[in-house]
Structure 1
Amino acid sequence: MVNYNPKTWIALILHSYSRHVLKTMLPAILVMAIFTGVSCYIILDYFELKPSEFPGTTTVHSLLGIVLGLFLVFRTNSAYDRWWEGRRQWGGVVNSSRNLALKLNAYLSADNQEDRAWFARMIPNFVFAMKEHLRAGVKIGELDVNEAEASALEKVEHKPNKISAMLYSKVNQLYKANVLTGDQLINLDKELKDLIDLIGACERIKNTPIPYSYSMFIKKFIFIYIVTLPFGFVITFEYFTIPTVMLVSYVLLSVELIAEEIEDPFGKDINDLPTDELAKRIKKNIHEIMR
């Protein structure tokens, strides 16, 4: 995620991300430029068609542009809603992990360094496992675990669930050993439950894209719109149709590209959530609380 000042117009306009988007879309824009150039040559030079013979008009595309704009607004809003919902869930992870650590810090005596150190490792481990679980998969080497814990985690597919089970087992063990009271056990259960609820909400966002029909037809409408643009503009703009079509293609394709990027906010793209930084911050906070 990029940290930026929204008031610096020039810096935003010239930001490297604009070049990244342009580089990604450049093949499609060049194809449209060639297609438009060939269409202009055939209509204007080869057949030498005149307005009376080939009455191109921008009216149809103006009307279609309104409909396409509504589709793109829906597409952008739905993608941003998913991004913001993901941020809200990760805000919940920050709060629940801190609350769990604060309660354990209060319940466990300073003499019980072994258990305090164990929770100081495993709570951040859950967050790091959650972060990678929402990507390509958890790497055991990134977690602060011993050999036995690593072996147990390697045997399961859903590693955050396993770490949560370890946390539950440890809390129950402390309750049976009379280190924790029944009331304290109930208080800790809420925070442990919240962690599972939060990762479930993030999995819902990741595994449920927008309906296929919306995505398919939006792409179809964009394609049809920009492919037919040369025939609507060529008589009016002549060879200036080429840069016009390139500009319109850049605008429409960039909106769709950004929507595709932010609808899955848990990856490593420039617009995705800063889950790496959040996980490190949580780990630092937990260690400060439990030391």
Structure 2
Amino acid sequence: MVQYNPKDWITFIFRFHKSDTFRQLIPMMILIGLYSYGVGYLEMEYWKLSENSHVKNITIMHGMLGFVISLLLVFRTNTAYDRWWEGRKLWGSLVNNSRNLAIKLSAILNDEQDKTYFRNLISSYASILNKHLKNEETGLMLFDGLDLKIDHEKHRPNQVAKMLFQKVNDLYTSGKITGDQLIILNAEIQSFTDICGACERIKNTPIPYSYSAFIKKFIFFYVMTLPFGYVFSLGYYVVPVVVFIFYVLASLELIAEEIEDPFGNDENDLPTKKIAENIEKHVTEIL
């Protein structure tokens, strides 16, 4: 995730980060600039269309459709940001629930070996969930008194959650914790699986294809028709104007595409690896 100072305007304006949409759109912007120049040349130099040509009235269509495309892009951006923010709230809940579970276990348990077991396993859940959401391989994790062997053919976070509950149940059957304490700890462990399921819902349910494809086609054909009408009033200045309009509209769509899956490896995705490391640090301090 990109770290920045929101009050530093100069940096925002003149610095081009590698995730900036300008870099990604340069090839298309060049092509659209050449296309706009070609349309201007044909209308003014080759066909020699007059100011009274009906082609000039195509700007009426742009005025009507401009409002529609703005509504679509606002809805698209807000939907993508809602998914990003919901993912952040879920990982914030994972941080809090990991701390709460560690605090309760620290107060309940007396055996140092049991504390070590939970210290390693609670930290592992966040790390494995991060890799699970990014479809990364999980290696063998070796800890004192714990061999965490993950079967990649099965659901990886569920395996860790199962080990957590099995250990809590063993503590209950051995008389180290009471029934009331079992219920309290069970609620915390269950919240891990609830968070995992909510993250998977975001990851595995993309924006409907027909909606995303329609917006892209709408932007493309809207921009492609701009030079035909505005060349009469702007002349060859239509080239930078059309390129700029395309940059603004396409950038909004690119930003929405990037943040709608907040658990990937893009520059603006959630720093889930860093959050998992913080969970490990906090749990280690508590236990």
TM-score normalized with structure 2 length: 0.94
Gaps of 5+ in 1: none
Contact 1:140–1:150 (CA under 8 A) maintained in structure 2: no
Gaps of 5+ in 2: none
Distance 1:201 1:242, change over 3 A: same
Q: How is 1:189-268 mapped onto 2 (pairs within 5 angstroms)?
A: 189-268=186-265
Contact 2:32–2:243 (CA under 8 A) maintained in structure 1: yes
- The 2-side partners of 1:148 and 1:50 are apart by 82
- The 2-side partners of 1:286 and 1:4 are apart by 28
- The 1-side partners of 2:97 and 2:114 are apart by 19
Contact 1:122–1:144 (CA under 8 A) maintained in structure 2: no
Which residue does 1:108 correspond to in 2?
109
Q: How is 1:139-218 mapped onto 2 (pairs within 5 angstroms)?
A: 139-141=138-140, 143-145=141-143, 149-151=147-149, 153-154=150-151, 156-218=153-215
- Partner deviation per Cα, 1:52-90 (whole Å, 9 max, x = no partner): 235424332122111100000000010011011111111
Distance 1:36 1:85, change over 3 A: same
- The 1-side partners of 2:192 and 2:108 are apart by 20
- The 2-side partners of 1:263 and 1:216 are apart by 15
Deviates more, 1:210-219 or 1:65-74: 210-219
Which residue does 1:27 correspond to in 2?
27
**Which of 267, 270, 273 is residue 273 of structure 1 equivalent to?**
270
- The 1-side partners of 2:128 and 2:263 are apart by 13
- Partner deviation per Cα, 1:15-46 (whole Å, 9 max, x = no partner): 33377321111111111111111111111111
Which residue does 1:61 correspond to in 2?
62
TM-score normalized with structure 1 length: 0.93
Contact 2:125–2:161 (CA under 8 A) maintained in structure 1: yes
Q: How is 1:8-87 mapped onto 2 (pairs within 5 angstroms)?
A: 8-17=8-17, 20-53=20-53, 55-57=55-57, 58-87=59-88
SS of 2:270's equivalent? coil
- Partner deviation per Cα, 1:121-175 (whole Å, 9 max, x = no partner): 110100001111111234225x455798444x13543111100001111111111
Letter aligned with residue 17 of structure 2: Y
Deviates more, 1:18-27 or 1:271-280: 18-27
Report how far residue 233 of structure 1 moved: 1.0
Which residue does 1:120 correspond to in 2?
119
Contact 2:33–2:239 (CA under 8 A) maintained in structure 1: yes
Contact 1:79–1:262 (CA under 8 A) maintained in structure 2: yes
SS of 1:17's equivalent? coil
SS of 1:257's equivalent? helix
Report how far residue 226 of structure 1 moved: 0.6
Report how far residue 192 of structure 1 moved: 0.3
Contact 1:125–1:144 (CA under 8 A) maintained in structure 2: no
- The 2-side partners of 1:213 and 1:160 are apart by 32
Q: Percent identity?
A: 46
Q: Pairwise CA RMSD of aligned residues?
A: 1.8
- The 2-side partners of 1:16 and 1:249 are apart by 18
Distance 1:181 1:61, change over 3 A: same
- The 1-side partners of 2:220 and 2:65 are apart by 12
- Partner deviation per Cα, 1:87-123 (whole Å, 9 max, x = no partner): 11111100111111111101111xx221111111110
Deviates more, 1:84-93 or 1:131-140: 131-140
Letter aligned with residue 129 of structure 1: I
| Residue 284 (structure 1) aligned with residue 285 (structure 2) | no
Letter aligned with residue 99 of structure 1: N
Letter aligned with residue 263 of structure 1: E
Contact 2:103–2:286 (CA under 8 A) maintained in structure 1: yes
Contact 1:132–1:139 (CA under 8 A) maintained in structure 2: yes
SS of 1:261's equivalent? helix
In the comparison of the two structures, how many residue pairs are matched? 286
- The 2-side partners of 1:51 and 1:19 are apart by 43
